[in-house]
Every structure is written in structure tokens, then in C-alpha cells.
Amino acid sequence: MFPITLTHYLVAGAFLFAMGIVACIARRNAVGILIGIELILNAANVNLVAFARYWNNLDGEVFAIVVIILAACEAAVALAIIINLFRGFGTVEVDYASKLKE
Amino acid sequence: MADYFIHVCIAIFLLPLAAFGIVALFHNRLPRHGDWIVISFMGIALILALVIFGGALRAAAHHQPLSQQRSWEWLWLNFPKSHAAQTGAAGAAAHAPIEGVSPSGAVRVGILLDGLTAVMLVVVTVVSFLVFLYSSAYLKGDVRYGRYYACLSLFATSMLGLVLSDNLLTLYIFWELVGFCSYLLIGHWFERKSAADAAIKAFITTRIGDVGMLIGILLIYSNVGSFRYEDIFRYVHDGGMSDSVRILGLEGSLRFWAAIGLFFGAMGKSAQFPLHVWLPDAMEGPTPVSALIHAATMVAAGVYLVGRMHPFFPPEALLFVAYIGAITAALSATIALVMDDIKKVLAYSTISQLGYMMLGLGVGGEVGGVAAGFLFGLFHLTTHAFFKAGLFLGSGSVIHAAHHEQSMWQYGGLARKLPVTFATFLIFTLALCGFPYLTSGFFTKDGIIGAALQFGMQHPTHKILGWTALGAAGLTSFYMFRLIFLTFFGQPRNEHLYHHAHESPWAMVLPLLVLAVLSLGFVGSNRTFGLIHEASWFSTLVKRPTPGAHSAETAPAAEPVAAHGAESAAAGRGSEHGTDSVHLLPEAHHQALVGSITVFLAGLIGAALVYYFQWIRAEAIARLFRPLYVLFLNKWYMDHLYRACVILPYLALCYFIRLVDTYVIDAVVNFWGWAGRAGAWLVGRVDWGVVDGAVNGTAWTTGFAGRLLRFTQTGLVRNYILILVAGATVLLLLFWKI
């Protein structure tokens, strides 16, 4: 059994971040994109908590709690946008919501 | 009493002015274009004038000649009060400040009512009223009927203002106003080029004279400091304006030159040689206008001016007046001999008679002159106004009957068709020619001729004046009877015209009858109004204002009137010359009487022989005196002379100025215009190429960048995020510290 170091957490966070980015870029479904953003935020949380543990203080954890609160707000706002999107276009495919361009 | 007459004068002046205002503004809305307003207002003015005339006669009968004055401050001019007083010229510096010249420099204007004014008021209102009445028939249905009556009314106002003025300033204003009305009325039918030209000619010719008059007035004002007659007379009586001035190589006193200046105005207005050329052309106006303005009233304004300012005229200036008058009388009489147009004959006759009046005034000087000349000059103005207005109205009646044919060679035998016109016309003609004792013209013209003859006796070098007057009287008789015979006697020369001729309506005949009555002998006789000792009613009314005798006139005449009619004024001056009486010397009177009756008969017989009995053919005479005939026919080449000496040089000058304008001024202006255009073109190029280029380049660049960048604007959030990530990655790689 090898010890789990900071690097492991960081790699896990980077992986989560990359997952989130890919989800944002590749998915057309707005809910999917929202989930991708949540993944990105949580990747940051992982990093913050890992660094807090590494430096042995609570600063990072406080930040992580703030981010979680932020994520909750963001999810509420984003879901509201998605509902409106659906009402307006009859779909949650973000590609249809390119009205400014057309 | 005093105020009463002045108020009546103001009413007389305002009545036609009010009529003018009403008719000028509302004639299109009034029935008959408001002619009844003008005529009735003038009728009231006529009655008021007769009231004043009666008052003046009554006052004169009590040896208290009417002389009232009322003046008001009008203009405030801060000119140096008296040029002479400032420079301390001899004679003038010692004078006390003149009364009536207020220290503030205000110009007083007002009304002067004396015998002459009273007579002139009657003359102007009578002739105006009759002519207004006559016009209502003569111009019936005219295109500018209302305008015509407005002009007539304005004219009457101005003429009345002219004779009521007590100063040269308002006289000059009204003087110009009558000239302006004359211009309007001559050009009444301005569609005809000849009428428009005649109007301009009349206006400009009289204006040339008026320049002299203005100079004279300003000379007087700058010396006297007042425009009022009595101030002026007192000033010159006390020896003012006697500085010697040299103009055009001629030495004369300032007074002389001012008088000549005033007389220039009179020459223009009264159509005296050489400024007479406008009057015959003025016959282009309607005939009633010719009667009113160009025979009876306006042209007499010049004579009135000289008469009014008579005490101002020094003897040399009066001699000039006399010679101009004599030349005018003779010259225009010769032209009248050969005119074919009935109105032209009368026009030249008018000029001739105006010459007589000037001659009378000219020889009527206070020093060495014949007082009767002054009197009869103005008296002739009065009687002439009536019979000459009558002649013109009569000719208007003939022209009306003849459907506006004016050549006498188209008439003939019209006496049978126009009996009333003929009878009155004959009376007017006899009055003009001086038919002994029965007509007014005889007395006055005889008086002028007598005065001129007596002047010749006193000054043998000037004998020619009297003989010229006598000769012109013979010519007058000849041409007037030529007119009568050609028009009214003989066989009709134009059957068609004769056939259609008819007597005029009552509105035209009535004025003729009234004027015919006023042309009869009683007007000029010394028995009218119960006067035996005076020369005539006129001489009791009209006295030459003499500053020295001022107190003698206003004081009750204590001295008994001598049996031979020495007036109180004459007594005040003393009679060392023995000519101050209004009566002529017996031998002069005798000569004038015999001479004028002789030439009258000679003219009558001559005309009868040629044009009635036709024993002598007119063509034969014309052939015999061909050079003279051609000279007369071309009006002594006066028009040609003016054309050659004035009009052509003037046109040449205008042409030259036009050339300068075209080739110098226009060239400069055009050059600058061209230079401006070239500069603007250059600046325009710069604008296009540089400024616009920069602006457009910026805009194009921005647009191009936008066109490029719009490809990245897909509207897909996922693309943006991709770009974001790619960018972040690139930055990460760039700043990756290895």
C-alpha cells in the first residue's frame, strides 16, 4: 500500500477538471453542460481541500465551502435559465439558442 | 376771427387729403370707385375757399389787408444758426437774432394767409372741383378710375399745401409732391410707351430745375437761419446776403444766386425756356389732367413761387426772369403756329402764357421796375387758370366727341355738332387772345404788355421785352384762331368722325359753362365788386410784401386813398420812381392798348385769311418761309439739342461706365471667383485623397477586421468554451517554466 500524496489529489482534481471541460465542450444538452461545470467546480474543491490538508490549515476548506455554496446558487440560476430555454425553444439543446448570430 | 380763417385753411387742406386717404385705400369697395367722395370733399373745400376769399375782400375793403399766420415748431435742426453771423460778414454780423428762429434751432412751419393765398385757394379749388366733375364723365369706365381720383385728390392736397405754406421748406415738400402727382397722372395710361416716357421726361426735367431750387433754399437757410418768408424778406431788407460771389465767371451777390436758384425751380415747374420741353409731352396724360395740372395750377406754381418770393429777388435776377419769360413767350408761340395736335397747340400756348407771367413779374421789381408788372403777372396767373383750364376741357370735349382723335386736320365743322363746346371754347380763345374789354385775359395780358413797354421806356436797353410780348400776343391770336377755324369751321375733313361726333354729357359741359363765365371781362375789370379807383379787385387783395412797410400795413390806413390809386403800402415806401402805383403810365397804357388790340386783330384776320377764307394757302406760306417753318415744326430743335447735348453724352457716359463695369470690375470679381473655385478644387482634392482617405481607411480596416472576426462568432457556447480552453492552454504552454 503506497501513501496517498498531494500529487494524487491534484491528478484526481485535474482529471475531474478535464472531464468537466470535455462535458462542457462536447455535450449539447444544457443539463450536461451544467453537470460539466459542476465537475469543474468540484475539481477545484478537490484541489482546495488537498492543499488545505497539505498546508495543515483551514483556509482551503473555507474556500471549498464557499465554492459549494456558489455551485448551489449557480445550479439554481442555471436550471432557471434552462427552463426558460426550454420554454422559448422547446428544447434544451444549446445550439438552438444562437439567436444573436442568426 | 383770426383763428377762424386759419382753421378754415386747415380744413381746406385736410379735406382733399382725407378724400385721398379714403379713395386710395378703399376705392375698390366703394361704389363708383369713390369719385363722389373726392368731388364732394372738393366742393366743400371750394365753398370754404370762397368764404376765405370773401373775408379777404371784406378786409381789403376796410384797408386792413388780410395777413394771418400761424406756425408751429416742426423740425429740430442743430445747424449753425447763421453762417453770415459766424464769419462776421459785413452787414450781417450786426443783425440782431431774427424773430421766429428759436434758439433751439427748431424750424417753424405754418400757414400764411394773405390776399395772394386767398386768390390761389379759390383758383385751385374752383379748377380742381370743375376738373374732378369733368373727369367723372371723361374717364368713365377707365381701367384705373379709382387710382386716377386718388392721384387727383393728392394733387389738390399738395397744391393747396403749396399755396398755404408760410415757408420755403414745406413749399418745397409740396412742390415735389405736385411734381410726383403730375408724374403719376401723365403716366396714367402707362401701357402706352409714349405716356410712360412723357411721365419720366416731365419728372426728370422738373427735377433738374428743382436741384437749383434746393440749392437756393439751402443758401437762404444757411444765411437766414429760417425758412419763413417774412424772416427772409426782413433779412434781405436789412442788407443780408449781400456778399459777392463769383460763379461761372459771373459776379453776383449771394442773394442774386439764391434767387436764380429758386428761379431754376420755377423754370422747371412752369416750363420756362430752356426747361419747357416736358410740358408738350405731358399732354399724353388724360385731358382733364392737362387742364388741371399742366395748364391751371401746377405749372403756375413756378409763377407763384417767383411772386411769393418777389421781394427777395434783386433787380438783376428779375431782369433774368423777365428775359427768360419773354423768350419763352415768343419761342413757344412760334411753335404753336405749326402744331397739328390740338392739345399740343394748347400746351405751347400755356408755356407762352407762363412766359408772360414771368415777364410781368420780372419787370415788376421794387427798384426801377413797374409795380403793375408784378400785379398783372400774378393776376394773369389767375385769369389764365380759368380760361386755359376751359380751353383744355373744351379740347377734351372735342377729343371725346372725336373718339380720341387729336389731329386738327381730322376735325372741321364741329361747331354744328358741339354748339356748347364751341361757344365756350370761343369765349376761352377770345380771353386768351385778349378780346378787348369783354374778356378777363385782355385786362391781365394788356397789363403785362403795358408793364413791359413801360419798363422799356424806363430802361431803353430793354425795350425789346415789350415788343417781344406784343409780337407774341399777335402770334397767340393767330394760332388760337387757326385752331378755332380748323376745328369748328369749314367742311368736315373726316366724314366718319364728323358723323359720329356728339355733344358731351352735362358733367363735361357744366364745367365749361362755369369757366366761361369766369373768363368774362368782369373778372379782370376794375368795376367788379364796386371798385372804381383801384385797378382791380386783385390789386386790392394782393400786395407785394414789403418788410419796411410792415407796420404801415397792419396799422389802420390813415392816409386817404388817392384818386389815382396809390396804395397805403406804396405811400409807405415813397414814390420817388413814380412807378410804384399799380397803374401804368398813361403812354405805356395807351401803347399797350392800341398795340394789343392791333395784334389781336392782325392775328385774327391773318388766321381767317389762311384757314377760313383760304385766300392764302398755308402750304404756300410754309414754302415761302421754309427754314422758319422747319425750325418751328421741330420745336426750335430743343429736343434734338437736349438729345445731342444731354441725353447722348449721358448715354455715352453710361455706356462707358458699363464698359468699365464689364471689363474692369467684373473682371476683378470674376478673377476672384475663378481663384476661389481653383483653390476650392485643390482643397477638395486634398479632402478626398488625404482626409477622406484616412477616415475611409480607418473605417475599412475596422470593417475588414470585423468581417474576419465574425467567423468566430458562431453563437455556440461550446465553441467559445473550446476557444477559451485552447487559449488558456496556449497561454499555459507559453508561460510554462521548465
B718–A21: do the CB atoms touch at under 8 Å?
no
Considering only CB atoms, A101 lies closest to which of B713, B721, B725, namely B713
Task: Identify the pLDDT of residue B64.
Answer: 75
pLDDT of residue B561: 35
**pLDDT computed for residue B546 by the predictor:** 64
Residues near B583 by Cβ (< 8 Å), separated by ≥ 6? B372, B535, B564, B565, B589
Query: Is residue A82 a part of any domain in this protein?
Result: yes
Max alpha carbon distance in chain A (Å)? 58
Nearest to B722 among A25, A97, A102 (CB): A25
> Which grid coordinates are listed for B328?
419763352
Is residue A84 situated within a structural domain? Answer: yes
Q: Which of residues 697-726 of B touch A (CB under 8 A)?
A: 713-718, 721-722, 725
- A24-53 pLDDT per residue, tens: 888 888 899 899 999 999 999 999 999 998
* Calpha distance B588→B602 (Å, rounded): 20
Q: Pairing state of beta strands B67-76 and B106-114?
A: antiparallel
How far is the CA of B669 from the CAs of B268, B656, B665, B672, in angstroms?
A: 42, 18, 6, 5
pLDDT band at B85 (very low <50, low <70, confident <90, very high): very low
Please name the member of A25, A98, A102 whose beta carbon is closest to the beta carbon of B721.
A25
- Residue of chain A nearest B720, judged by CA positions: A25
Among the partner-chain residues A25, A100, A102, the one whose CB lies closest to the CB of B718 is A25
Predicted local confidence at residue B530, as pLDDT:
52
Q: How sure is the predictor about B93, in pLDDT bands with cuts at 50, 70 and 90?
A: very low
Contact at CB, B714 and A98, closer than 8 angstroms = yes
User: Tens of pLDDT along B668-702?
Assistant: 999 999 999 999 999 999 988 888 899 999 999 99
**pLDDT exceeds cutoff 80 at B489:** yes
Does residue B425 register a pLDDT over 80?
yes
Answer whether residue A102 is part of any domain.
no
Of A21, A26, A94, the CB nearest to B717: A94
* A27 in contact with B, Cβ within 8 Å: yes
Confidence check: pLDDT of B84 > 50: no
In this predicted structure, the answer to whether residue B439 has a pLDDT above a threshold of 80 is yes
> Is the CB of A98 less than 8 angstroms away from the CB of B715?
yes
- Rounded to a whole number of angstroms, the distance from the CA of A1 to the nearest CA of chain B is 32
Higher pLDDT, B37 or B499: B37
Please indicate, yes or no, if residue A48 is contained in any of the structural domains: yes
pLDDT in tens, B146-205: 889 999 999 999 999 999 998 888 999 999 999 999 999 998 888 888 899 899 999 988
Name the DSSP class of A29. Answer: B
Asked whether the predicted pLDDT for residue B86 surpasses 50, the reply is no
pLDDT band at B559 (very low <50, low <70, confident <90, very high): very low
Q: What is the mean pLDDT of residues B580-588?
A: 68
User: Which pLDDT does position B668 carry in this prediction?
Assistant: 93
Q: Which of A88-97, B79-88, B124-133, B357-366 has the highest mean pLDDT?
A: B124-133
DSSP B554-605: HS---SPPPTT---HHHHHH--SSS--SSSPPHHHHHHHHHHHHHHHHHHHH
Percentage of the residues of chain B whose pLDDT score is greater than 90: 24
- For the residues B436-443, what does the mean pLDDT come to? 83
Of the two residues B355 and B549, the one the predictor is more confident about is B355
Closest CA relative to residue B263, chosen from B307, B222, B295, B298: B307
Enumerate residues 6+ apart whose C-beta is below 8 A from B490.
Answer: B412, B413, B611, B612
Grid coordinates of B711? 467567423
Kindly list the residues from chain A whose CB atom is less than 8 angstroms away from the CB atom of residue B713.
Answer: 101
Measure in Å the smallest separation between the Cα of A35 and chain B Cα atoms.
14
In a domain, A100, yes or no: no
Residue B178 has a pLDDT of 92
Average pLDDT for B594-600? 87
pTM (predicted TM-score): 0.74
Angle, CA of B110, B113 and B115, to the nearest 5°: 155
B75 CB near a chain A CB, below 8 Å? no
- Of B329, B222, B142, B229, the C-alpha closest to B546 is B229
User: Where do the DSSP E strands lie in B99-187?
Assistant: 106-114
Q: By three-state DSSP, how is residue B418 classified?
A: coil
Q: Is B530 on the interface with A (CB under 8 A)?
A: no
Is there a contact between B53 and B118 (Cβ–Cβ < 8 Å)? yes
Q: Convert the pLDDT of each residue in A5-31 to its tens digit.
A: 889 999 999 999 999 989 988 888 889
For the cut 50, the answer to whether the pLDDT of residue B89 exceeds it is: no
pLDDT at B598 over 60: yes
For residue A98, which residues of chain B lie inside 8 Å, CB to CB?
714-716
- Give the percent of chain B with pLDDT over 70: 88
A94 and B CB contact within 8 Å:
yes
Domain count, chain A: 1
* CB-based contacts of B497, cutoff 8 Å, min separation 6: B402, B403, B405, B410, B411
Query: Could you tell me the CA-to-CA distances from B313 to B323, B374, B453, B607 in Å, in that order?
Result: 14, 12, 21, 40
CB within 8 Å: B722 and A99: no
Average pLDDT over residues B480-487: 89
Q: How far is CA A54 from CA A4, A47, B368, B470, in A?
A: 11, 10, 150, 154
A36 in any annotated domain: yes
B1-5, B121-125, B580-584, B618-622: which is most confident: B121-125
Q: How confident is the model at residue B83 (pLDDT cuts 50, 70, 90)?
A: very low
**B48-67 confidence digits (pLDDT tens):** 999 998 888 888 777 777 77
Residue B4's pLDDT band (boundaries 50, 70, 90)?
confident
Query: Model confidence at B553, in pLDDT bands (50, 70, 90)?
Result: very low
Report CB contact under 8 Å: A101, B715. Answer: yes
What are the pLDDT digits (tens) for B278-305? Answer: 888 888 888 899 888 888 888 889 999 9
What CATH number corresponds to the domain at position A16?
Answer: 1.10.287.3510
Q: Report pLDDT for B535.
A: 61
Residues B631 and B281: their CA atoms lie apart, in Å, by 18
**Under 8 Å between Cβ of B223 and B241:** yes
- Of B75-84, B262-271, B499-508, B598-607, which range is least confident? B75-84
DSSP B339: -
Q: Give me the interface pTM, i.e. the ipTM.
A: 0.77
pLDDT at B642 (0 to 100) = 84
Does A100 sit within 8 Å of B715, measured CB to CB? yes
Rounded CA-CA distance B121/B316 in Å is 31
Whether B554 shows a pLDDT value over 80: the answer reads no
Cβ–Cβ below 8 Å for B722 and A95: no
Say whether residue A24 is in contact with chain B using an 8 A CB cutoff. yes
Flag if A27 and B715 touch (Cβ within 8 Å): no
Res B97 pLDDT > 80: no
Q: Identify the pLDDT of residue B676.
A: 94
CA of A99: which chain B residue's CA is closest?
Answer: B715
**Mean pLDDT confidence for B382-403:** 89
Give B126: exposed, middle or buried? Use CB within 10 Å, 0-12, 13-18, 19+.
buried
**Is A12 part of any domain?**
yes
Asked if the structure places residue A101 within a domain, the reply is no
Please tell me whether residue B501 adopts helix, strand or coil conformation: coil
If you average pLDDT over every residue of chain B, what do you get?
82
- In the prediction, which pLDDT does A13 show? 93
Separation in Å, CA of B720 to nearest CA in chain A: 9
Domain, as residue range, for A27: 6-89
Question: In the prediction, which pLDDT does B78 show?
Answer: 57
